[in-house]
């Protein structure tokens, strides 16, 4: 019921989010999704070198391929919807990511922390900036979250539900199809499950995993065969080029500590200190009365997701080529633990009467006189007022800092390379309208958009997925690495 009530709100929020993104971030936003789908369906555009080498799966561009098909059938491919529909699709998936951030937090820590985790996900500047862009990393994050939600975490269950286990493996396999490096995550989690399972369960776990993985990779082969017209095992090609032959280093290398010193601090931003507090300070989950009528406050915090985050950071730090969006899978984990911290602050404030705050418990659980208890109640009230102020300041800092970052990076930073192609699209559309209405008017206006030379950083400018016209001659810089096909 919560999903049905909250998801439409999340979807509207992410649709508005998608309309507020006016800047450039990374070439893959267009050239590994929308552009190749446009090239496949309409027969013109630009195909980057990765697609000639069989390094990319067509599973993600396939979504846009069928979207272009539908728009063409409905004669809507000359409308603004043609440009916006890829981001609208991704807005839907981003809203699902928000939802599963809530579900995963709910499964680990309960309803209270889950609500705060959802708030943290919505106030994350990087999620606002990158989550609704058409990156395969965002799909990897979504399916990883869905797999986490169904996964038999040893700290949460005593017995494996193999139906949920198989569902989790399907989602995990899909995340690996979108991004083969996602296998790094699942190797760690799979070994962790085996280590915490009885030896008699190993055979069944391995058999189920092998079956699901085999079917998933067969599905991947079929999808990519439809694009490449030959059997192409993309995960192997991707890992071979990027990890073994290290072709990705052509596009930049970073020191081993880059994710720790720069990447994660920028992605997590002001949520990060709250996340660390959530990990190490714990969430008040249980308040129970003992036999001697004293209250015991059990601080329960499951660090399973934190251990996964540490593994991702360690493993990805070993790779030479690093980017901010490569650690997108950490963002929901940061939101969840940050939500745990905020929940702890709010819980201490709203439940002083139950005395589940450590300091207030120390004051009240002893046998004081009435006057002493009254004084201590005043102290507790002041303590909670102080904590209320801290919560208010914390929320203010989170919202203001992330809104400012989101505003700058979504509406200001590196905007020109995107604006120019939309300006060209308007000129092309005007030319088509004038030529269809009156040739004489066309001669008067004489809009010069027959040939364009773009001297900008390679692939920083969108192409036919925005322009959608093969009547204009384009030349621009490219960045093929020094390899032979």
Residue 402 CA to residue 162 CA, distance in Å, equals 41
- Count Cα neighbours of 291 within 13 Å in the Cβ-side half-sphere: 0
List, as own/partner pairs, every contact residues 291-299 make where C-beta atoms lie below 8 angstroms and the sequence separation is at least 24, other chains included.
Answer: 294/365, 295/354, 295/355, 295/356, 295/361, 295/365, 297/356, 297/358, 297/361
| pLDDT of 298 higher than 90 | no
Best CA proximity match to 183, nearest among 120, 131, 234: 234
Tell me how crowded residue 242 is: count the other CB atoms within 10 A of its CB: 18
Nearest Cα neighbor of 471 from 455, 448, 442 is 448
The rounded percent of the chain whose pLDDT value lies above 90 is: 55
| 451-454/473-476 β-pairing | parallel
Average the pLDDT over 156-179 and give the result: 92
209-266 pLDDT per residue, tens: 999 999 998 999 999 999 999 998 888 888 888 778 878 788 888 899 999 999 999 9
Q: What is the mean pLDDT of the chain?
A: 85
Rounded-to-integer distance, Cα 99 and Cα 118, Å:
7
pLDDT of residue 117: 96
Q: Give the mean pLDDT of 185-191.
A: 94
Q: Sign of the CA dihedral 395, 401, 403, 409?
A: negative
The angle subtended at Cα 163 by Cα 161 and Cα 167, nearest 5°, is: 115
Place of tokens 């928000």: 98
pLDDT classification of 290: cutoffs 50, 70, 90: very low
Per-residue pLDDT band for 448 (boundaries 50, 70, 90) equals: low
Three-state SS for 150-215 is: HCCCCCCCCCCCHHHHHHHHHHHHHHHHHCHHHHHHHHHHHHHHHHCCCHHHHHHHHHHHHHHHHH
Average pLDDT over residues 139-162: 92
pLDDT on residue 364: 47
pTM: 0.87
Q: Write out the DSSP string of 217-245.
A: HHHHHHHHHHHHSS---HHHHHHIIIIIS
Average pLDDT of the residues in 343-351: 68
pLDDT at 366 over 90: no
**Tens of pLDDT along 153-166?**
988 887 889 999 99
186-190, 362-366, 412-416: which has the minimum mean pLDDT?
Answer: 362-366
Is the model's pLDDT at 351 over the cut of 80?
A: no
Q: How far apart are CA 36 and CA 207, in angstroms?
A: 37
Sign of the four-CA dihedral 422, 423, 428, 432: positive
């Amino acid at each position: 019921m919560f999903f049905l009530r909250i998801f439409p709100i999340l979807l509207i929020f992410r649709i508005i989010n998608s309309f507020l993104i006016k800047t450039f971030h990374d070439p893959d936003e267009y050239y590994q999704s929308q552009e190749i789908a446009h090239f496949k369906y309409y027969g013109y555009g630009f195909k980057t070198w990765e697609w000639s080498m069989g390094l990319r799966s067509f599973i993600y561009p396939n979504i846009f391929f069928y979207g272009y098909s539908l728009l063409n059938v409905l004669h809507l491919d000359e409308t603004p919807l043609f440009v916006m529909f890829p981001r609208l699709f991704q807005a839907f998936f981003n809203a699902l990511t928000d939802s599963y951030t809530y579900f995963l937090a709910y499964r680990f820590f309960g309803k209270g922390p889950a609500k705060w985790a959802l708030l943290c996900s919505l106030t994350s500047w990087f999620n606002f900036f990158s989550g609704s862009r058409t990156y395969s990393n965002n799909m990897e994050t979504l399916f990883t979250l869905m797999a986490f939600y169904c996964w038999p975490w040893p700290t949460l269950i005593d017995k494996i539900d193999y139906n949920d286990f198989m569902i989790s493996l399907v989602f995990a396999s899909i995340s690996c199809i979108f991004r083969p490096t996602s296998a790094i995550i699942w190797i760690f989690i799979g070994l962790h499950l085996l280590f915490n399972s009885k030896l008699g369960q190993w055979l069944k776990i391995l058999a189920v995993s092998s079956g699901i993985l085999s079917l998933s990779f067969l599905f991947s082969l079929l999808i990519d065969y439809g694009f490449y017209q030959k059997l192409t095992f993309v995960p192997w090609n991707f890992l071979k080029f990027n990890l073994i032959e290290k072709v990705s280093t052509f596009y930049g290398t970073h020191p081993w500590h880059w994710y720790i010193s720069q990447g994660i601090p920028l992605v997590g931003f002001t949520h990060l200190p709250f996340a660390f507090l959530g990990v190490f300070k714990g969430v008040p989950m249980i308040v129970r009365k003992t036999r001697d009528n004293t209250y015991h406050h059990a601080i329960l915090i499951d660090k399973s997701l934190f251990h996964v985050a540490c593994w991702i950071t360690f493993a990805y730090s070993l790779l030479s080529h690093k980017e901010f969006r490569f650690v997108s899978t950490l963002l929901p984990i940061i939101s969840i633990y940050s939500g745990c911290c905020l929940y702890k602050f709010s819980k201490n404030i709203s439940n002083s009467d139950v005395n589940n705050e450590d300091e207030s418990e120390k004051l009240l659980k002893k046998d004081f006189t009435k006057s002493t208890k009254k004084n201590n109640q005043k102290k507790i009230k002041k303590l909670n007022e102080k904590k209320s102020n801290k919560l208010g300041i914390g929320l203010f800092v989170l919202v203001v800092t992330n809104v400012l970052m989101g505003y700058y990076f979504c509406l200001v930073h590196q905007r020109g390379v995107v604006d120019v192609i939309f300006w060209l699209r308007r000129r092309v559309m005007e030319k088509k309208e004038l030529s269809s209405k009156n040739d004489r008017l066309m001669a008067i206006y004489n809009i010069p958009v027959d040939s364009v030379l773009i001297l900008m950083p390679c692939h920083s400018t969108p192409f036919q997925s925005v322009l959608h016209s093969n009547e204009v001659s384009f030349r621009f810089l490219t960045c093929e690495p020094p390899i032979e096909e």
